[in-house]
Chain A
Amino acid sequence: MADATRPIFEHLPAWMVVSFYVLVVVSTGLFLFGWAIRARKYLRGRAVPLDQLPARFVRAARDLYSSRTIGHRDRFAGTSHALILWGFTALFIGTVILSFDYDILRRLFNGYSFYRGTFYLGYKLTLDILGLGMLAGLILMGVRRGWFRLFRLDYRRVDTRPQAPRRLYRIGDWVFVGWLFALGFTGFLLEGLRIAADHPSSASFSPVGSVFAAGLRLVGLQHQAGAIHTGLWAFHATIALAFVAYIPYSKAVHIVASGVNLILRDRFAASRLPAPGDQVVAGTLGDLTWKQLIALDACTKCGRCHEVCPARASGAPLSPRDLVLDLREYADRMIGLRTPVTDRLAAAMPAELVPRLAGHVIPPETLWACTTCMACVEACPVGIEHVPLIVGMRQTLIETGQMDGNLQTALQNLGKHGNSFGTSPRMRGRWTQGLSFPIKDARKAPVEYLWFVGDFASYDPRLQDVSRSTARVFQALGLDFGILFDAERNAGNDVRRVGEEGLYEMLREQNSRALAGCEFAAIVTTDPHSYNTLKKEYSNDGTAYQVLHYTELLAQLLEGGRLKFTRPLSQRVTYHDPCYLGRYNGVYEAPRALIRATGAELVDMPRCRANALCCGAGGGRIWMTDNPGQERPSEQRIREAMTLPDVATFVVACPKDVTMYAAAAKALGVEERMQVKELIELVETAL
């Protein structure tokens, strides 16, 4: 079969071939025009540097083609999408090869073509199989969308905005799936018709086509094959080219935008907010970076962020998905792309010359409901970073004073006294008085570990007990540690995430000054929020501090044999991954190793590690009035823990978690049934 090949445009009248090329030009033009409009949108964004392009590209390609991000916690969607992606890519490359060979190679090199022989056979086989895969994937997706009744695909809004015509979204979704399916199906039909009419010897290398051919023979159409073929070919070509033109104007935009966004993503964007000089308040659309504008286009409305958001789950008017879509539609409207969807959004906004993102496009209560837990960022398969968008918009709200009264009080207390409680900074070290031994003053003596205690652990009575436990454990282990006493201020992590950059700067300056006067090898902290900002956002004249969470430190000691448990526990416990330790900083194993070492049997909750459900205190929410709504996320979490058989202890590793979960257990009336304990308390008991 050395000369197996298929003539292109066989049996087609000349006018059809000409029309084909005309359509190619038209559709390409529309495609490019669509992208030009979008590019105009992106160019209006703020410039930010892009580094390490090759590494990013490789990583993105790997993520995309392994379906890692889509398959994350959803094998069905991952597999279906992989089938579609591989199939589409193969068919796309196949068409490119074909057109390259036919339109360029043959013309330039006097009829030379590689589209023959072994190549042709391999090509046909590959495309057949992958093409079938694509059809299968599309069917699976259709079933998922139509039959599974997934919550994440419910487009209803959770805020008070009038329900935009989400019906149009659904129609768009089905059109997209249907269109691709029609393309693939008609493609195979064409192949089948050709095989039925021509009986080529290479048919065995087109298994799917052969099946279609058999089918056609079954219904007796093989004799009209030629006539049908022409008409069908025209149809197929038209919808294919129309699809190309359709891409930049529809959900199909994600084909490009999502891939690009995976290249641009920075998974720790929320963890390490830009330095104050680079930080720009996201006041109006032009303040968003071009990366962020592309990210907005990458959203496929998959609904995962909507599903995992703890604020949404407790009935607050925040849906990360709707936030992204609203911003996107607003941006589209601003560049003149008007659709019923964008019109409806525009009608809801005041007729101001330059509407502000925070307040006009996105209501303040939506922005304030966020706990900055990063579950949305973690779940997003296309790499959108919702949290920095929210934090940026919150800065406008702070500047204009649009905030909850309790938050204002907390910020004023932080500004005046360095803690949110409004208590004197001189009382910060008072908790140490309950100990039988003195704690070193890190301001006066060098220490190996400078223990940054944190607001809640210093001032809240219940947590002061935990701090004392921690001190006793450190002492028993012979650690050389000290604290800053009165010189310590709130590290500022949540102040930053609330949007008060100036106050954050002030707190950071104060803390940095205090740290500069001390000698220490590493900072150890019992508060994951402080941990995050000290590690990622503080700098010691350009170099980062060495920062450990106490679980990391103890786990190291455990490994080194310096930590031994003499009174092992025998309970079954569960562990809640704090957002700022887990999702933000990837510390999952150290606490678990510790728990297991104490002898307790660790049973993870269904949503654990990167999928843990936030307690609801982050992002400054602990300083604000509770969201009105249904059950608090902390209560939902306790319920989740109670589904585990024989587990009566809820272990946490963050002071705010202790407060939130103890209150939740009490609110549910189960504080006897499910006891909330800080990990250090287990350690102390088992030591």
Chain B
Amino acid sequence: MNLLVPLKLVPDLVEELTLNEAGTDLDRDALIYKLNEFDDQALEEALVLKETTGATVTAIALEAPEIDQVLFTALAKGADRAVKVTGDFEPGIDNHAAAQVLASAVRGQQVDLVLCGVQAPDDLDGQLGVLLAGALGWPHISVVSGIEPDSAARAVRCHQEYAGGLMALLETELPAVLGVQAARQPPRYAAISTIRKVMKEKQLDEVAATPGDETVLRLQVRRLFKPVSRAHARMLEGDVTRQVEDLVSALSERGVLKVSV
């Protein structure tokens, strides 16, 4: 079974997010990027499936600054191939366009199952995985965990998680796209020396992007803004003893706690 894991870089929120002059986008020069945490989960789930079922894992990403490191890390973790889709993509390319590009790359490969991160922090126009499925015309399921291919690798079972801990066991034909919420184990660590070794020994496959479907209309972002917190908690001051006292008084006053103050 051939698994494909699309990887996307997103701004690392450790830095303050600053806006460009027009206020319509982030100041991208000031950003550091990291791999979308859910894509990391999808990659881990794919690698576990490789270990348990012998599937092959291909990581794929659109060309972007610092993307090579991410693709080599995927190889270091155990992916069989890493594909970089080359092209001149605008920074912060929206998911519709990215999905079109990825779809064209997928059609050129032998792919049975796409494991995508369920969402990313900048999914303004919808989740990449679902849009990719739409572009390919494949079935999709989001918010998935516990993926099990059937023995013939013609179908896959997974759990879709709903609110309140409720889950449904669904089975879908392949090929399909699944939006992974959580892998069955935390994403593994790739030692830097392993990554460096991989960088020396292996190559990234490169695939040129074919122009996407331009008929999709894009929504205009008028402006970006930082939230103005309308409310804020009253902060208790002082050392721990004082804070505890104040809290106990407040709770007593409200009748939530019955203690003598």
Contacts and interface: CB of A to CB of B under 8 A. Distances in A.
A and B touch in the complex (CB under 8 A): yes
Interface of A: 398-399, 401, 403, 405, 408, 411-412, 415-417, 422-424, 426, 500-503, 505-506
B191 interface: yes
Nearest to B33: A416
Given A401-B188, A405-B186, A416-B34, A423 B193 contact: no
A392 to B, nearest CB: 13
A426 B15 contact: yes
A506 B192 contact: yes
A403 B190 CA distance: 12
Contacts of A408: 186, 189
Contacts of A424: 14-15, 32
Interface of B: 12, 14-15, 32, 34, 186, 188-196
Given A405-B186, A416-B34, A502 B14 contact: no
Contacts of A415: 192
Given A416-B34, A424-B14, A426-B15, A500 B191 contact: yes
Nearest to A405: B186
Given A416-B34, A502-B195, A502-B196, A401 B14 contact: no
Contacts of A412: 189
Contacts of A506: 192
Given A405-B186, A416-B34, A398 B14 contact: no
B35 to A, nearest CB: 10
B194 A399 contact: yes
Nearest to A276: B193
Nearest to A416: B34
A580 B192 CA distance: 25
A422 B190 CA distance: 17
A411 B189 contact: yes
A500 B192 contact: yes
13 contacts: A398-B191, A399-B194, A401-B190, A408-B189, A416-B12, A416-B32, A416-B34, A423-B14, A500-B191, A500-B192, A501-B192, A501-B193, A506-B192
A504 to B, nearest CB: 8
A500 B196 CA distance: 12
Contacts of A403: 189
B196 to A, nearest CB: 6
Contacts of A411: 189
Contacts, number: 43
A336 B23 CA distance: 74
Interface of B is mostly: loop
Given A422-B14, A424-B14, A426-B15, A502 B193 contact: yes
A624 to B, nearest CB: 13
Nearest to B197: A502
A354 to B, nearest CB: 19
A503 B73 CA distance: 13
A405 B188 CA distance: 10
A501 B191 CA distance: 8
B189 A401 contact: yes
Given A422-B14, A424-B15, A502 B189 contact: no
B14 A505 contact: no
A505 B192 contact: yes
Given A417-B14, A424-B14, A502 B34 contact: no
Contacts of A503: 191-192
A399 B193 CA distance: 8
A280 to B, nearest CB: 12
Contacts of A500: 191-193
Nearest to B190: A401
A412 B15 CA distance: 16
Residue of A411, A417, A502 most packed against chain B (CB within 10 A): A502
Nearest to B188: A401
A248 to B, nearest CB: 39
B193 A505 contact: yes
A304 to B, nearest CB: 34
Q: Which 4 residue pairs are nearest across A and B when measured between Cβ atoms?
A: A502-B192, A502-B193, A503-B192, A401-B189
Nearest to B34: A416
Contacts of B188: 401
Given A501-B193, A502-B191, A505-B196, 16 more contacts: A399-B194, A401-B190, A408-B186, A411-B189, A415-B192, A416-B12, A417-B14, A422-B14, A423-B14, A424-B15, A424-B32, A500-B192, A502-B196, A505-B192, A505-B193, A506-B192
A349 B15 CA distance: 47
Contacts of B12: 416
A343 B91 CA distance: 62
Contacts of A398: 189, 191
Nearest to A413: B14
Nearest to A422: B14
B14 to A, nearest CB: 5
Nearest to A423: B14
B192 A399 contact: no
Contacts of A416: 12, 32, 34
B201 to A, nearest CB: 14
Contacts of B189: 398, 401, 403, 408, 411-412
Contact of A399 (B14, B15, B186, B191): B191
Nearest to B16: A424
Contacts of A423: 14
Contacts of A501: 192-193
Nearest to A398: B191
Nearest to B195: A502
Nearest to B196: A502
A505 B196 CA distance: 11
A422 B188 CA distance: 18
B224 to A, nearest CB: 20
Contacts of A405: 186
A623 to B, nearest CB: 13
A235 B140 CA distance: 88
Nearest to B187: A408
A502 B186 contact: no
A408 B189 CA distance: 7
Nearest to A414: B192
A505 B199 CA distance: 15
Among A401, A405, A417, A426, the one with the most B-chain Cβ atoms within 10 Å of its Cβ is A401
Of residues B14, B190, B191, which shows the largest number of chain A Cβ atoms within 10 Å of its Cβ? B191
Contacts of A399: 191, 193-194
Nearest to B193: A502
Contacts of A401: 188-191
Contacts of A502: 191-196
Contacts of A422: 14
A393 B196 CA distance: 20
B161 to A, nearest CB: 22
Contacts of B15: 424, 426
Contacts of A505: 192-193, 196
Nearest to A417: B14
A506 B14 CA distance: 21
B192 to A, nearest CB: 3
